[in-house]
């Protein structure tokens, strides 16, 4: 049997080991705290970095940049030389110099694929309130890209857009992004009454939900293009927590104001520039961009579904996710994933009723 002295020695050894482990844990905690503190300091430094800190940018040039929607170094870093050169008092050389300085400060150089993957992993997903639809799209509607829903009238495009204008206000653990929505209504189809129905179905205060949706009625292309700069202003200047931008629909004015084959090149060029700006905003601010789109029948297609989205290859290349919607019976809708960068083609069924968008209950299937 162990003597009392031996037992005490073992106890002392255990206490010493515990003390060492505690010190190690304390050291790790302190190291982690220091790392977090350093990251916070770096982020605060980036936030404090302003337009005036860019080489060659004085008070007058800073005011000019802000007047044209460039409020932060990030907006400068993602701008093109031609867009800045077009402003008064900015030469091609100056534009290139301040853009390079902004990129260098924000560390926007070449990254390894691992670093890119880590950055991409921070992107969130917005729920459509249909688990089937979310799963088909890899977890929901992704931040930082343009997602297009196209289909015939009554197929559910606006219903999904309005549902997401509500779900974006949910907390993260419920599939939302805890943010607000800008809803560009180009067709006059936005209905606050519908928003209230969807909000009540999710247990939210309908009046608060409506307060967090900013509706912009676009009567023509000029209105639609002008609202792009308002997105940047609301985030950078007014500091609104915008997480979703809906354009319903992307092409309606382009289709009506550019008529005839002679205007096709101008239409596609204007559409391309418009979409390019939206994509930049999506990446810059981590926005979910939802664009609905009209369709037409392709007379040259002899077999299969002749339904073709408006916008041609320009819109096809800009949209990272393309979902084709069809109307079914008794409130059912069919969503088919046509294109995605990393997902296979798939098709699911969901419901649209007085409560909004949700999954189709197989028990009620007839």
| Domains observed in the chain | 51-106 (1.10.150.20), 124-364 (3.40.50.300)
Give 9's pLDDT tier (boundaries 50, 70, 90): low
pLDDT attached to residue 116: 86
pLDDT attached to residue 20: 46
pLDDT attached to residue 283: 93
Is the model's pLDDT at 285 over the cut of 60? yes
In angstroms, rounded to a whole number, what is the distance separating the alpha carbons of residues 257 and 220?
Answer: 8
Is the model's pLDDT at 79 over the cut of 90? no
CA-nearest of 117, 120, 140 to 130 is 140
14-18, 57-61, 138-142, 239-243: segment of lowest average pLDDT: 14-18
pLDDT attached to residue 42: 44
Read off the pLDDT of each residue in 265-271 and give the average, rounded to a whole number. Answer: 91
pLDDT attached to residue 13: 57
pLDDT attached to residue 10: 52
Is the model's pLDDT at 51 over the cut of 70? yes
Give 21's pLDDT tier (boundaries 50, 70, 90): very low
Give 127's pLDDT tier (boundaries 50, 70, 90): very high
- Residue 218: CB atoms within 10 A of its CB come to 21
Residue scoring higher pLDDT (154 or 108): 154
Q: Which residues of 248-286 are buried (b: 16+ CB within 10 A; e: fewer)?
A: bbbbbbbbeebeeeeeeeebbebbbebbebbbbbbebbb
Give 28's pLDDT tier (boundaries 50, 70, 90): very low
DSSP summary character for residue 286: T
In angstroms, rounded to a whole number, what is the distance separating the alpha carbons of residues 11 and 322?
Answer: 67
**Angle, CA 319 vertex, CA 303 and CA 259 arms, to 5°:** 70
**Angle, CA 221 vertex, CA 296 and CA 187 arms, to 5°:** 55
Residue scoring higher pLDDT (127 or 364): 127
Residue scoring higher pLDDT (23 or 344): 344
Give 300's pLDDT tier (boundaries 50, 70, 90): low
Is the model's pLDDT at 197 over the cut of 90? yes
Bridge partners of residue 347, in order along the sequence: 336
Residues 6+ apart with CB under 8 A from 130: 348, 350, 351, 357, 358, 359
Residues 6+ apart with CB under 8 A from 149: 156, 157, 160, 161, 290, 291, 292, 293, 323, 325
Q: In what helix (H) or strand (E) does residue 48 lie, and over which residues does it extend?
A: helix 4-48
In angstroms, rounded to a whole number, what is the distance separating the alpha carbons of residues 112 and 350?
Answer: 40
The DSSP string of 334-345 is: EEEEEE-SS---
Q: Which long-range contacts (CB under 8 A, 24 or more apart) does 85-92 make?
A: 88/64, 89/60, 89/61, 89/64, 90/61, 90/64
Give 301's pLDDT tier (boundaries 50, 70, 90): low
Pairing of strands 213-217, 141-142: unpaired
pLDDT attached to residue 75: 87
Q: What is the pLDDT of residues 327-339, one digit of tens each?
A: 988 889 999 999 9
CA distances from 294 to 40, 225, 254, 291, 330 (A): 45, 18, 11, 10, 23
102-116, 149-163, 284-298: segment of lowest average pLDDT: 102-116
Q: Determine contact, residues 289/278, Cβ cutoff 8 Å.
A: yes
Residues 6+ apart with CB under 8 A from 6: none
Q: What is the pLDDT of residues 200-248, one digit of tens each?
A: 999 999 999 999 999 999 999 999 999 998 999 999 999 999 999 999 9
Is the model's pLDDT at 16 over the cut of 90? no
Is the model's pLDDT at 26 over the cut of 50? no
């Amino acid at each position: 049997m162990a003597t009392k002295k031996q037992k005490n020695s073992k106890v002392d050894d255990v206490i010493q080991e515990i003390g060492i482990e505690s010190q190690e844990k304390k050291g790790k905690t302190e190291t982690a705290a220091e790392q977090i503190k350093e990251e916070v300091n770096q982020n605060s430094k980036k936030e404090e970095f302003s337009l005036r800190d860019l080489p060659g940018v004085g008070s007058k040039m800073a005011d000019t940049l802000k007047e044209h929607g460039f409020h932060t170094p990030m907006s400068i870093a993602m701008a093109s030389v031609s867009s800045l050169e077009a402003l008064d008092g900015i030469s091609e050389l100056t534009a290139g110099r301040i853009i390079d300085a902004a990129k260098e400060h924000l560390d926007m150089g070449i990254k390894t694929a691992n670093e890119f993957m880590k950055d991409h992993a921070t992107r969130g997903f917005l729920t459509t309130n249909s688990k089937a639809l979310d799963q088909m799209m890899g977890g929901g509607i992704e931040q930082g890209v343009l997602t297009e829903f196209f289909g015939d009238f009554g197929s559910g495009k606006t219903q999904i857009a309005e549902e997401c204008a509500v779900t974006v206000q949910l907390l993260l653990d419920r599939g939302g992004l805890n943010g607000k929505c800008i809803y560009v209504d180009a067709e006059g189809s936005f209905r606050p009454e519908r928003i209230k129905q969807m909000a009540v179905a999710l247990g939210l205060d309908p009046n608060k939900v409506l307060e967090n949706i900013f509706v912009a009625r676009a009567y023509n292309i000029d209105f639609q293009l002008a609202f792009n700069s308002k997105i940047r202003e609301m985030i950078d200047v007014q500091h609104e927590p915008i997480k979703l931008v809906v354009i319903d629909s992307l092409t309606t004015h382009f289709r009506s104001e550019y008529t005839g084959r002679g205007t096709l090149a101008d239409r596609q060029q204007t559409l391309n520039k418009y979409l390019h700006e939206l994509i930049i905003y999506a990446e810059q601010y981590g926005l979910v961009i939802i664009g609905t789109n009209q369709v037409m029948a392709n007379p040259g297609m002899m077999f299969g579904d002749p339904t073709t989205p408006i916008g041609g290859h320009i819109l096809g290349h800009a949209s990272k996710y393309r979902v084709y919607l069809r109307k079914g019976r008794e409130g059912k809708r069919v969503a088919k994933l046509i294109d995605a960068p990393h997902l296979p083609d798939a098709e699911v069924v969901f419901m649209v009723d007085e409560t909004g968008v949700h999954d189709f209950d197989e028990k009620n299937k007839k």
